[in-house]
Amino acid sequence: MIKSPKKNNQPILSIIILNYNSGNYLSNCLKSLYQSTINNYQIEIIVVDNASTDDSLSQTQSLKLFNPNILPLNYLPLPTNIGFSAGNNRGVTVSNPKSKYVLFLNPDTSVEKDTLSGMIDYFEKHPKVDAATCDVILALTGKTQLESHRGFPTPNNTFWHFFGFGLPKLFSKSKFFNGYFMGYLDYSKPQQIDCCVGAFFMLKRPVGDQLKWWNEKYFMYGEDLDFCYQLRQNNFSLYFIPYFKITHFQGVSSGLLKTKSITHASRQTKIRSAIATTNAMKIFYQQNLLKNYSKIWQFIIWRGINLLEFYRIFKARYL
């Protein structure tokens, strides 16, 4: 059983971890959190389980961990899988409403010792920062996950990303050619970005309250992009902070991308995930971007998404 200190201190940070069939990655994530150097801060951790069918949640019951700055671990098992957005929103509802910051953290991550205290310190010292992510390192490559600092998927950004014929790399400092991942910025120092990946997404609680948190029209994928879009549309700032890191074992639950060696997902789960990615694109474009373009561009965008969906289903089914 996880041991936690009996303190009534007000947490400055609420960490919400949404779990779904993540195997032993959830336990490893919690271990990394309990090994964190949190200094004088008090934090709380809420684990929301989206009706997992594996033993990922039960594994955590036997963990023997202690950190004097972590309040008693809060579990919220859900009877059905309600999706990423709704699951995270349930976590918000049971978190301490007086905590200053909220961090959404994927279970397939490992947090470095100084990341939590470092990110809190950064927010405290830079009041103009409304939301931020850290340097998310992909476990399979050892490199920064490019989705942790990306631009919005405008037709121009999307075209050069998928059909750029090497031009984004050739003109890596060009905002026109390399806007998809905002590669024209210097990421050795903090940068204001359009959007980040939801694996590590920290923001001020009042900002989330104002935006009403996650858009539950998204079941899986696209919700982080939509959240970041709403942030920027409402003139809130979002920063990439390179000084602090986590490791991301991307795709454990979905089985997508280059994660076949670590995923537990079945072929059917991979196909459902492939469809979910393009459904999320359709929702995002329909709600946020289509109105900004002509009928011809709308037709091209829609056909492009359908073609991408066909390719991803084929890849999930046969490759």
> How high is the pLDDT of residue 5?
41
For the chain, what percent of residues have pLDDT higher than 90? 64
> How high is the pLDDT of residue 2?
45
> How high is the pLDDT of residue 74?
95
DSSP SS3 for 43: strand
| Cβ pair 245, 230 in contact under 8 A | no
Name residue 160's amino acid: W
Per-residue tokens: 166: 């090497």
> How high is the pLDDT of residue 264?
56
Predicted confidence band of residue 265 (pLDDT cuts 50, 70, 90): low
Say how many C-beta atoms besides its own lie within 10 A of residue 153's C-beta.
Answer: 23
| CA nearest neighbour of 18 among 45, 42, 54, 53 | 45
Say how many C-beta atoms besides its own lie within 10 A of residue 186's C-beta.
Answer: 9
| Cβ pair 148, 133 in contact under 8 A | yes
User: Both ends of the chain: CA-CA distance in Å?
Assistant: 41
285: which DSSP letter? Answer: I
| Cβ pair 76, 44 in contact under 8 A | no
- Rounded to the nearest 5 degrees, what angle is found at the Cα of 134, between the Cα atoms of 20 and 12? 80
Integer Cα distance of 198 and 82 in angstroms: 17
Name residue 219's amino acid: F
| Cβ pair 215, 90 in contact under 8 A | no
How many Cα atoms occupy the beta-carbon half-sphere of 123 within 13 Å? 24
Per-residue tokens: 233: 């549309």
| CA nearest neighbour of 78 among 106, 99, 47 | 47
- Rounded to the nearest 5 degrees, what angle is found at the Cα of 115, between the Cα atoms of 85 and 110? 60
Say how many C-beta atoms besides its own lie within 10 A of residue 24's C-beta.
Answer: 16
Per-residue tokens: 262: 């670590």
> How high is the pLDDT of residue 237?
98
For 99-145, give the secondary structure using H, E and C: CCEEEEECCCEEECCCHHHHHHHHHHHCCCCCEEEEEEEECCCCCEC
Predicted confidence band of residue 197 (pLDDT cuts 50, 70, 90): very high
| Cβ pair 230, 85 in contact under 8 A | no
Integer Cα distance of 159 and 170 in angstroms: 15
Phi, psi of 219 (to 5 degrees): -85, -45
Classify strands 13-19 and 101-105 as parallel, antiparallel or unpaired: parallel
Read off the pTM: 0.85
Taking only the tens place, the pLDDT of each residue in 204-258 is 999 999 999 999 998 888 899 999 999 999 999 999 999 999 999 986 555 445 5
